[in-house]
């Protein structure tokens, strides 16, 4: 009996010394923790494939809808991308260059002489040309002897248009044409005057045919550039 009492005292003393209590009970508790963790992983941390895929589809749909709500108005009213096809605007623009066209400016002011614009093809409105505005509403233009003469309210006797800022050295404008523009008409030409289908062929264009002004050349990167309306050195009548 004394021996048994001593063993009981040792067990009691050991249980008091061990803050985790009976080691055998702790082993059982550890087993229960493992089972709990396994069930939690399956139910909460690893959702089923159908749940995860469905959520992914919903998130992608949200992104697409938001992108359309942002990009569509910009594309329709502000900026639109175009790429150059052909050589009619060389040396200013080359084949396959990527341009950003400003569609907002002409909602605020009229097109200006010298602007490079994208217009609808008068023969096929679903196609587009890129040309430069040479004549403005109410202008009278004379193309003769390789040059362009502008007759307007400021220069009723006519003034030769200096296009050296954008035409190649030695360029000239072939043909012989005289035209007076209406109140909503513009005369457009390609910078490559000997290889351009323009107003010399299809006549003046109406303002509604102008899509917008070429604002940026975005590609290729090494030719990236913004474009402003050129300034023409047209002297005043008093200086002539």
User: What stretches of the chain adopt beta strand conformation (E)?
Assistant: 79-83, 98-102, 116-120, 128-135, 140-144, 147-151, 159-160, 177-180, 185-189, 205-206, 210-219, 225-226
- Residue 132: how many CB atoms within 10 A of its CB? 23
Q: How far apart, in whole angstroms, are the C-alpha atoms of residue 121 and residue 119?
A: 6
Closest Cα partner for 99 from 114, 85, 117, 84?
84
Q: Which residues pair with 135 in a beta bridge?
A: 187
Task: Give the total residue count for the chain.
Answer: 240
Closest Cα partner for 119 from 28, 202, 33?
202
Residues annotated as part of the active site:
88, 131
């Amino acid at each position: 009996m004394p021996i048994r009492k001593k063993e009981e005292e040792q067990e009691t003393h050991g249980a008091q010394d061990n803050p985790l209590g009976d080691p055998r009970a702790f082993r059982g508790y550890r087993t229960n923790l493992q089972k709990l963790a396994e069930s939690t992983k399956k139910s909460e941390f690893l959702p089923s494939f159908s749940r995860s895929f469905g959520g992914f589809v919903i998130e992608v749909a949200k992104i697409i809808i938001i992108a359309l709500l942002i990009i569509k108005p910009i594309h329709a009213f502000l900026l639109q991308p175009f790429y150059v096809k052909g050589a009619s605007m060389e040396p200013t623009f080359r084949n396959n260059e990527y341009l950003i066209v400003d569609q907002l400016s002409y909602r605020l002011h009229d097109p200006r002489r010298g602007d490079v614009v994208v217009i609808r093809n008068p023969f096929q409105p679903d196609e587009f040309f890129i040309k430069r505005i040479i004549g403005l509403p109410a202008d009278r233009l004379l193309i003769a002897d390789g040059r362009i003469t502008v007759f307007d309210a400021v220069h009723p006797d006519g003034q030769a248009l200096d296009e050296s800022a954008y035409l190649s050295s030695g360029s000239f404008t072939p043909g012989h044409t005289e035209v007076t523009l209406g109140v909503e008409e513009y005369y457009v030409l390609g910078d490559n005057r000997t290889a351009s289908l323009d107003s010399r062929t299809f006549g003046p264009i109406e303002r509604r045919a102008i899509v917008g002004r070429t604002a940026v050349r975005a590609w290729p990167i090494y030719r990236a550039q913004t474009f402003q309306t050129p300034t023409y050195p047209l002297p005043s009548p008093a200086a002539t």
